[in-house]
Amino acid sequence: MDFEIKFASPEKQRGACVVVGVFESRKKTDTAKVIDQTSDGYIKTILSRGDMDGKPNTTLLLHDVPGMQCKRVLLVGLGKEKEFGDKAFLTATQAVFNAFQKTGVTDAAIFLTDIPVLERDVNWKIKQTVLLAGSSDYQFDQLKSKPEERKYGLRKLILGISNRADLAAGKQALQQGQAIAKGMSLTKDLGNLAPNICTPTYLAKQAKDMAKEHKLKATVLGRKEMEKLGMGSLLSVAQGSDQPAKLIVLEYQGQAKKEKPVVLVGKGVTFDTGGISLKPSPDMDEMKYDMSGAASVLGTMLAVAEMKLPINLVVIVPATENMPSGCATKPGDVVTSMSGQTIEVLNTDAEGRLILCDALTYAERFKPKAVIDVATLTGACVIALGHVATGLISNDDKLSQELLNAGKQAADQAWQLPLWDDYQDLLKSNFADMANIGGRAAGTITAGCFLSRFTKEYRWAHLDIAGTAWKSGKEKGSTGRPVPLLSQFLIEQAEV
């Protein structure tokens, strides 16, 4: 989709459609008033008939509005003016793109960015509009023998603004939004691929291809290299699978080499059966999404490379399958991590932390400014936070606040859980330095406690995306989260 920011007035647009908003009850926005004046009260007449009241998530498409040069005018309900905040803006914008999918509109000019949103500027509204447009346009049909042909589809979107002074900053917001949308699309593609295609080897190839296109440094370690490094914890998960494990490393240099990088670590379990601690069969197909952490950090790397951010960034992806076999790790096995700490594996379905801990130890060599790991780690996080917020645990208050603020700014929110010593006792083992689970209680927190034992050398945060990385049911598919959160965090780090 092509985008353009334009200092313009709605009545002069010649395209297929112009979009303006209406508040409850039938209160016109400034741009709707302009169209009403141009059409000699046509909009007022339509509203007075009761076809549009301005309620949230409603639209009304009008054809051949008198005096207008465009073919259509789309009215979108904004809800109550006094309550028009982040959610209302996003709901209204999503309603616009939903309406477009039911029409033959191929280009449109949208005039919603001038509507005041509490504590949000025009740039935020531009970026969010672009992200919603990208998500609306996304379609995964690569694996179908006959992909559905779309006769129509929005090909160009003009973002109308009324203040010429907003053009320069608006263009930067547009560029960032497009880059983040591209990163989200990659994340969705990797997550939605079938697990017999998206294997650890496939992820490694995708990383190498990205490195060639964007001049990144790519390193892929195999079993022998990981054995030399002592990554016994990661390899214990991989030993039940015929697919070879990979440790994938991408490096982006946007600053001088002496500047410390931010390191993102993404859990890359390309299919998770649970191992010997086998999962129930219903919905197990969705365990292809257990590499969503890996997909999101690769998507974030793509977004950063597209934006050319002045920052150094390293992405580390420990990639493997978790399969049951005669060679698979058994409950009760004790493995030795790269850090030298020993782990009693009480549940082989708590495998994500076993691969992450070695990757987190590996991250020390980059002398990082901060390390953030991203993982579909615990079902307990879904119980605690549902599918709305990502779980956050950190050993650094400043870092956690920066991530929380970035999530709020990106409309991709996280919620912090405690990392208290009181919870560490739940990981005690009679036979090793620690167990890999702490029981049912506080499952997300004890998983974070486990990871914290491998992050004492740097500032660290953990994002549990088990509830936010994908949707089930009729809308089954990857969400692309938390690419917006991570990208916004890195944008802000680059500005420091």
Report phi then psi at 478, rounded to 5: -65, 145
DSSP collapsed to 3 states, 335-401: EECCCCCEEECCCCCCCHHHHHHHHHHHHHHHCCCEEEEEECCCHHHHHHHCCCCEEEEECCHHHHH
279 counts as catalytic: yes
SS3 of residue 442 by DSSP: coil
What's the maximum distance between 2 C-alpha atoms anywhere in the chain?
83
Place of tokens 């049912």: 440
Q: How far apart are CA 278 and CA 109, in angstroms?
A: 52
SS3 of residue 76 by DSSP: strand
Quickly list DSSP for 168-233: HHHHHHHHHHHHHHHHHHHHHHHHHS-TTTS-HHHHHHHHHHHHHHHT-EEEEE-HHHHHHHT-HH
Find the angle CA(443)-CA(264)-CA(173) to the nearest 5 degrees. 115
SS3 of residue 439 by DSSP: coil
| 151: number of Cβ within 10 Å | 5
3-state helix, strand, coil in the chain (%, to 5): 40, 20, 40
Alpha helices in 101-152 (DSSP H): 122-137
Q: 79: alpha, beta or left, given left = phi > 0 and alpha = psi -120 to 50?
A: left
Per-residue burial over 277-314, b if 16 or more Cβ lie within 10 Å, else e, is beeeeeeeeebbbbbbbbbbbbbbbbbbbbbebebbbb
- Active-site annotation holder among 353, 369, 453, 481: 353
- Active-site annotation holder among 26, 44, 208, 279: 279
Beta bridge partners of 62: 73
Which residue type does 22 have? V
| 148: number of Cβ within 10 Å | 7
| 178: number of Cβ within 10 Å | 21
Q: Which residues are catalytic?
A: 279, 353
